[in-house]
A and B are shown apart, each in its own frame.
Chain A
Amino acid sequence: MSEQQFERGTSLSIFAADRREDMGALIAALLIALGVLLVIGK
């Protein structure tokens, strides 16, 4: 495992890059939205 692969990004984030953090947030938000729609229904 290389040092770079597991290097944290800025002191504000656990992700190595902002884009990665954005994509993670996007996936999390979509999963939550889907979950809410499935559990509660429209």
Chain B
Amino acid sequence: MIYTKKSPALLIIGVLMLVWGYLNASGGVDGMQSWLQKGAYSDHMKVKEKFDAELRVATEMAAAESKPVPAMKMAASNFDKVKGEQAQLSYIVGGLFAALGLLILVWTPKEGNLDYYLGVVPGTAFIVGIAFAVRWVLDPVFANWGKGVKDAGILSWDFAHIFNLNYVVLGIVIGIVIVNVFSIPGWAANGVRTARFFLKTGVILLGVLYSAAELAQLGGLSVIMIGIFVLGSVGMVLFMGRRMNAGNSMTGILSAGVGVCGVSAAVAAAPVVQAKAVEIAYTIGTILVWGVGCMFLFPTVGHMLGMGPVQFGAWAGTGILNSAQVAGAALAFDPNGIETLKVAEIFNITRVLFLPIIVVWLAAWYVKHEEGAQKVDLKQVLVAKFPVFVLGFLGMFALSSMGVFAPAGHYQGKYFSTEQIKEDHWLKGKETRAIEGELKRLQEPEGAKALKDHFVAKAINIGQRHATPDDAYKAMQNLIDSKKMMSREQDAILNAVAKMSGVDAVAKGAVEKASKAAWHNSKLIGAFRNWIAWLFAIGLTGLGMQITAKALKQAGGKPLIIGGIVGTVKAVGSLIVVLLFVKEFV
């Protein structure tokens, strides 16, 4: 059988990518990019402003000394980096596709390996091209749109953020629209089936972002609570799914989505239980709809029950499934405080870290139920059928836990380091004087009382005790003496102090500057995240193209019922546990 279809499509896609790369490299789409990449563009304007000022001074000095103006080059801004990355990727991928597109046009295919794999490339290029459009255009368009609607006061919340309208969901939606409205072109049909391969590669790489050291740093209570509720809800979905005949793959993926961390868990578990594209779509839909409801309900219930920041953070982090919605609920409960958000995120991260355990559990569960383990030797079946890519994921997790990829503490993408603070980021005289002024003011009886009340109200803790004004005084004196942040604890306390009402604006700015200078981006983790995002964007776009309206009708409403029941049990159960056992510390 011959798989390669003669078509100019691959060549056209490759050339379009090369054109996009050229337009980015030459500045031909700067106007559009400045709107799409608003954050990066604002950074660009700051860098340019600074450069223009330096150039002006250098020109004036050179003129005064009758010397030629020294050659100066503007530092690369985030905007330049974004455009550079788009140009580079477009050149590499577009060049490859264009070359293979030419080969398809001139070569007469014969049955064999070349035909087998070349036949896949046009369809792969099709989903890669759409993934480029989703990540580079649609994702920022929705992000700007959501923010714009919020800023204009039409909605009090960012709908794009809350409904998770990022490249993950948009990739699937675009895929669904293409297959149902236009249908997949014949030349692309074979390549669309590479979607699962991309997802599996992404899942294996996901293991790099987990570290046993991170898990060990989390509070004992969060690990116990999340452990009980994650494992409990996964078990409950598996039980209900079997009872309601929802199908093994549907049940498996829904259990990961409802139990662990929403969309990314569903994506990671999908190949483990050989879930169909439509089952992934149903799971993601159930999680997002459920999460949005929780996000509005949780803060209201929290206020009605008079919950404290730690209690609410623990509840939201356990009961709500999606990371963005956890943050949304925490901020809705306490818009000016960081403690609720911090606690909610600790629980959220703990839940995400349970993913490796759930992946192994689901792999074993699925193999057992698909093969009917009562009749055969489970060990033998596992050896024959256990998905190898899960071992790859666990292998990456083990390697990252051993520090092969990055030192412990870097896995969140940002890390604290005093040593790496550049000298020009140290605090200046005016800034340290402003902090000295605040230190004196807060040491007065009135200031000390306000500080103490603020720490209690916002539940600012150091380990297993409340932070005291003395902790703040020491941290402030230390910052004045060293002109930079010396520890994470100092950073946390001073950030809490800076959020007090009535704090001098210069002192507040100085603390924020010192904090920002102490936190660094991990380039390595950033690069891994970027790769994973691309693999998921490509895979999910391809998966979306396998979801037809007919398949959606066939799937029925069982996932929504199971997800709703288990989600409610988890939310109510975690509320009871939080009210009974969580008081002030996590």
Complex Cα distance A38/B77, Å? Answer: 24
Partner of B406, one of A11, A23, A29, A42: A42
Complex Cα distance A28/B531, Å? Answer: 12
Interface string of B520-564 (1 = CB under 8 A from A): 000110011001000000000000001000000000000000000
**Are A32 and B201 neighbours in the complex by a CB distance under 8 Å?**
yes
**Are B112 and A1 neighbours in the complex by a CB distance under 8 Å?**
yes
**Are B194 and A12 neighbours in the complex by a CB distance under 8 Å?**
no
In the complex, chain A residues whose CB is within 8 Å of the CB of B193: 8, 11-14
Say yes or no for B1: interface residue by CB 8 A criterion.
Answer: yes
**Which chain B residues (139-191) contact chain A, with CB distance < 8 Å?**
190-191
In the complex, chain B residues whose CB is within 8 Å of the CB of A37: 405, 524
**Are B201 and A42 neighbours in the complex by a CB distance under 8 Å?**
no
Contact flag A14-B205 (CB < 8 Å), given A1-B112, A3-B1, A29-B392 = no
In the complex, chain B residues whose CB is within 8 Å of the CB of A36: 524, 527-528, 531
**Are B116 and A26 neighbours in the complex by a CB distance under 8 Å?**
no
Interface string of A2-17 (1 = CB under 8 A from B): 0100111001111100
In the complex, chain B residues whose CB is within 8 Å of the CB of A3: 1
Please name the residue on chain A nearest to B199 by beta carbon.
Answer: A25
In the complex, chain B residues whose CB is within 8 Å of the CB of A28: 197, 201
Interface residues on A, range: 20 to 34
Interface of B, secondary structure class, is helix
Please name the residue on chain A nearest to B532 by beta carbon.
Answer: A32
Say yes or no for B250: interface residue by CB 8 A criterion.
Answer: no
**Are B111 and A25 neighbours in the complex by a CB distance under 8 Å?**
no
Partner of B120, one of A7, A14, A19: A14
Say yes or no for B204: interface residue by CB 8 A criterion.
Answer: yes
In the complex, chain B residues whose CB is within 8 Å of the CB of A12: 193, 195-196, 274, 276-277, 546
**Are A33 and B205 neighbours in the complex by a CB distance under 8 Å?**
yes
**Are B387 and A33 neighbours in the complex by a CB distance under 8 Å?**
no
**Are B388 and A19 neighbours in the complex by a CB distance under 8 Å?**
yes
Say yes or no for B10: interface residue by CB 8 A criterion.
Answer: no
Interface of A, secondary structure class, is helix
Pick the most buried of A11, A28, A29, A32: most chain B CB atoms within 10 A of its CB: A29
Say yes or no for B208: interface residue by CB 8 A criterion.
Answer: yes
Shortest distance between the CB of A38 and any CB in chain B (Å): 11
Complex Cα distance A24/B388, Å? Answer: 10
**Are B388 and A22 neighbours in the complex by a CB distance under 8 Å?**
yes
Partner of B405, one of A6, A29, A42: A42
Contact flag A33-B208 (CB < 8 Å), given A1-B111, A40-B524 = yes
Shortest distance between the CB of A25 and any CB in chain B (Å): 4
**Are A6 and B200 neighbours in the complex by a CB distance under 8 Å?**
no
Complex Cα distance A42/B546, Å? Answer: 39
Complex Cα distance A25/B388, Å? Answer: 9
**Which chain B residues (94-117) contact chain A, with CB distance < 8 Å?**
111-112, 115-116
**Are A26 and B524 neighbours in the complex by a CB distance under 8 Å?**
no
Say yes or no for B326: interface residue by CB 8 A criterion.
Answer: no
Please name the residue on chain A nearest to B113 by beta carbon.
Answer: A6
Complex Cα distance A39/B530, Å? Answer: 14
Interface string of B16-55 (1 = CB under 8 A from A): 0000000000000000000000000000000000000000
**Are A22 and B116 neighbours in the complex by a CB distance under 8 Å?**
no
In the complex, chain A residues whose CB is within 8 Å of the CB of B197: 13-15, 21, 24-25, 28
Partner of A25, one of B191, B204, B208: B204
Contact flag A25-B392 (CB < 8 Å), given A12-B193, A12-B546, A42-B405 = yes
Complex Cα distance A25/B116, Å? Answer: 18
**Are A18 and B201 neighbours in the complex by a CB distance under 8 Å?**
no
Contact flag A40-B112 (CB < 8 Å), given A14-B120, A24-B197, A25-B204 = no
**Are A18 and B205 neighbours in the complex by a CB distance under 8 Å?**
no
In the complex, chain B residues whose CB is within 8 Å of the CB of A24: 197
**Are B524 and A25 neighbours in the complex by a CB distance under 8 Å?**
no
Shortest distance between the CB of B22 and any CB in chain A (Å): 24
Contact flag A22-B524 (CB < 8 Å), given A13-B193, A15-B197, A29-B204 = no
**Are A18 and B387 neighbours in the complex by a CB distance under 8 Å?**
yes
In the complex, chain A residues whose CB is within 8 Å of the CB of B531: 32, 36
20 contacts between A and B (CB under 8 A): A6-B3, A6-B111, A14-B190, A14-B191, A14-B197, A18-B274, A19-B388, A21-B197, A22-B200, A25-B200, A26-B388, A26-B389, A29-B392, A32-B205, A32-B531, A33-B396, A33-B405, A36-B531, A37-B524, A40-B527
Considering the complex of A and B, which 7 residue pairs feature the smallest CB-CB distances, nearest first?
A25-B200, A29-B204, A22-B388, A22-B389, A26-B392, A25-B201, A28-B201
